[in-house]
Amino acid sequence: MTDYKVRQLSQEQDLLVIVSTYGEGDPPQPATGFFEFIEGRKAQKMDGVRFAVLALGDSTYEYYCQAGKRLDQRLEELGGHRLIARVDCDVDYEDPADAWISAVSDQLAAEAHAGPPLTAVTQAHPIATAPSAYDKRNPFPAPIIENMAIVGRGSTKETRHIEFSIAGSGLVYEPGDALGIAASNDPAVVVDLLEALGLASETKFELKGQVSTVEEALTHRFEITAATPRFLDYWALLSEAPFLRQLQEEDRAGERSVFLRTHHILDIVRRFPVRDVMPQGFVAALRPLQPRLYSLASSLCATPDEAHLTVAPLRYGLHGTARSGVASGLLADRAEIDTVLPVYIQSNQHFRLPANDAPILMIGAGTGVAPYRAFLQEREARGIAAQSWLFFGERNFRTDFLYQTEWQGWLKDGTLSRMDVAFSRDRADKIYVQHRLKEQARDIFAWLEEGAHIYVCGDAANLAPDVHEALIDIVAHEAHTGREAAEDYVRSLQADRRYQRDVY
């Protein structure tokens, strides 16, 4: 969608769209321009154009697959005709996505039976190296060779630096890519859930043609924390609880979303107990356990056969019980040196260093600094002498200046040209990275005019929108223009891939 020439839409015959949802029902950042055009007044009528939409989402969020739903509705409003009905996919998207692809392909092939056979689309930017045998479906068993805290004593946060050995895997990555980890659930949570269900851990049942114990399935195969509408429907049927039945009503969407966010599966099972649950039925209501992605904090050029991560474990209380993230809790609490975890590389073509020696502005807070460590390792290893400027934010200077000695070393040798930091809890009036950006508005705009690339990595809810607004304000002030023109300027940076974000 980033590269597509939107004014060609009305000239297309068939339009196939696959789109995920981000935030409050919005499209992902690279698709923003496409959505702004097609939902705006300049969108052309699409009479005669046929379309099909595959929407990707996460059913634990209120605006499930909303970007796909928006696009499906808008294409119809513009006069388009559906090839097939929209399909909405949860995080376990493989089967419904394959069915959608087959349905569309079969219909188009049947209509084009007299023409040449359909061929697979080739990759626009082929990778020169031979692909590894290891991927998401077949992850590599990587041992942990380092796992240490990188915050000082007394820090109000917990952040860890973790290193994996990928020697012999054939895995390759570029700065900006992510490491996928096929994590397993906390054994203590599995025990609690089995107890609440009244199931013995060694209970055996058939799972996709193979015999499994219920303990193995709940530990390694299924999500057992976040509750979904699918599980709510199943447990409402099983428990016959009036409250759960009410939550299923159409006009209770908001209330249902809040309930699912504030109740894990274990909480629901305990609150509305049911005995003699059949393992097959229970796991059928769960989602497959999905890998977790972490931005890589290393460059292969600098650390051959290694993959480094910067991880802040997710910890919180819910219903009087301490909870932790599935993967981050595993990495922080149970992954010791030599622990082997299944990993793979997730490429991210939308967060890449410039192909030339253009200046780079790197903006991040907390673990969002991870890819910038990879960026500078890469430039240092390749001997690239180019301007670079880091804006980094955290809570306290004394305890939370992640990788401080490395940044200072790069400043000293010129790999890093400038650095501005914001430690929000070191003063009464909190300072964040967007405030530092505005303080350097003149120089930032000068860098942009000289061709600098901007990168934002970190929190999607606060950091990303706040930085975005700061950039618009900077452009408007320094270019002496109005907000609309400043927005166009920033939008053009995105279209030219000079403004890239990796937010979560």
Q: Is 128 contained in some domain? A: no
Q: What pLDDT does residue 119 have?
A: 47
Domain CATH number, residue 211: 1.20.990.10
- Residue 325: CB atoms within 10 A of its CB come to 19
Segment 88-98 shows an average pLDDT of 93
Average pLDDT of the chain, as a whole number: 93
Residues 315 and 323 sit within 8 Å (Cβ to Cβ): yes
Amino acid at 349: Q
Q: Is 181 contained in some domain? A: no
Report the half-sphere exposure of 391 (CA within 13 A, side-chain side).
24
How far apart CA 234 and CA 247 sit, in angstroms, is: 12
Q: What pLDDT does residue 33 have?
A: 85
How far apart CA 439 and CA 21 sit, in angstroms, is: 34
Three-state SS at 322: strand
* Judgement on whether residues 336 and 444 belong to the same structural domain of the protein: no
Q: Is 1 contained in some domain? A: no
pLDDT of 425 higher than 80: yes
Report the half-sphere exposure of 37 (CA within 13 A, side-chain side).
17
How is residue 206 written in tokens?
């058939």
Domain CATH number, residue 447: 3.40.50.80
* Judgement on whether residues 499 and 422 belong to the same structural domain of the protein: yes
Q: What angle do CA 235, 263, 191 make, to 5 degrees?
A: 75
Segment 468-494 shows an average pLDDT of 96
Q: What pLDDT does residue 473 have?
A: 98
* Judgement on whether residues 465 and 385 belong to the same structural domain of the protein: yes
Amino acid at 494: Q
* Judgement on whether residues 203 and 302 belong to the same structural domain of the protein: no
Q: Is 158 contained in some domain? A: yes
Q: Is 126 contained in some domain? A: no
Segment 355-383 shows an average pLDDT of 96
Q: What pLDDT does residue 320 have?
A: 94
Among positive and negative, which fits the CA dihedral 486, 489, 491, 493?
negative
pLDDT of 239 higher than 60: yes
- Domain boundaries, position 400: 360-503
Residues 392 and 422 sit within 8 Å (Cβ to Cβ): yes
Identify which has the larger pLDDT, 190 or 429. 190
* Judgement on whether residues 223 and 277 belong to the same structural domain of the protein: yes
* Judgement on whether residues 162 and 14 belong to the same structural domain of the protein: no
Total tally of structural domains belonging to the chain: 4
pLDDT of 121 higher than 50: no
Q: What pLDDT does residue 116 have?
A: 53
φ/ψ of 451, rounded to 5, equals: 100, 15
- Under the banding of pLDDT at 50, 70 and 90, the label for residue 208 is confident
How is residue 503 written in tokens?
């937010």
* Judgement on whether residues 280 and 300 belong to the same structural domain of the protein: no
- Under the banding of pLDDT at 50, 70 and 90, the label for residue 132 is confident
Nearest C-alpha neighbor of 88 from the set 230, 207, 208, 257: 230
- Residue 126: CB atoms within 10 A of its CB come to 7
pLDDT tens profile 413-423: 999 999 999 99
Residues 393 and 432 sit within 8 Å (Cβ to Cβ): yes
Three-state SS at 404: helix
Domain CATH number, residue 53: 3.40.50.360
Q: What pLDDT does residue 124 have?
A: 40
Identify which has the larger pLDDT, 275 or 166. 166
At 466, which helix (H) or strand (E)?
helix 463-478
φ/ψ of 273, rounded to 5, equals: -65, 145
pLDDT tens profile 272-306: 999 889 999 999 999 999 999 999 999 999 999 99
Q: What pLDDT does residue 128 have?
A: 44
pLDDT of 159 higher than 90: yes
Q: Is 441 contained in some domain? A: yes
Q: Which long-range contacts (CB under 8 A, 24 or more apart) does 488-491 make?
A: 491/32, 491/33, 491/36
Domain CATH number, residue 154: 2.40.30.10
Identify which has the larger pLDDT, 228 or 125. 228
- Compute and round to an integer the Cα radius of gyration of the chain: 25
* Judgement on whether residues 169 and 306 belong to the same structural domain of the protein: yes
How far apart CA 89 and CA 68 sit, in angstroms, is: 10
* Judgement on whether residues 425 and 481 belong to the same structural domain of the protein: yes
134: phi > 0 → left, psi -120 to 50 → alpha, else beta; which?
beta
Span between the terminal Cα atoms of the chain, in Å = 20
* Judgement on whether residues 364 and 494 belong to the same structural domain of the protein: yes
* Final residue in a domain of this structure, among 284, 307, 328: 284
* Judgement on whether residues 273 and 406 belong to the same structural domain of the protein: no
Q: Is 275 contained in some domain? A: yes
Q: Is 353 contained in some domain? A: no
How far apart CA 413 and CA 388 sit, in angstroms, is: 12
- Under the banding of pLDDT at 50, 70 and 90, the label for residue 122 is very low
At 458, which helix (H) or strand (E)?
strand 453-458
Question: Please, what's the b/e burial string for 29-67 (b: 16 or more CB within 10 A of its CB; e: otherwise)?
Answer: bbbbbbbebbeeeebbebeebbbbbbbbbbbbbebbbbb
Q: What angle do CA 7, 46, 96 make, to 5 degrees?
A: 100
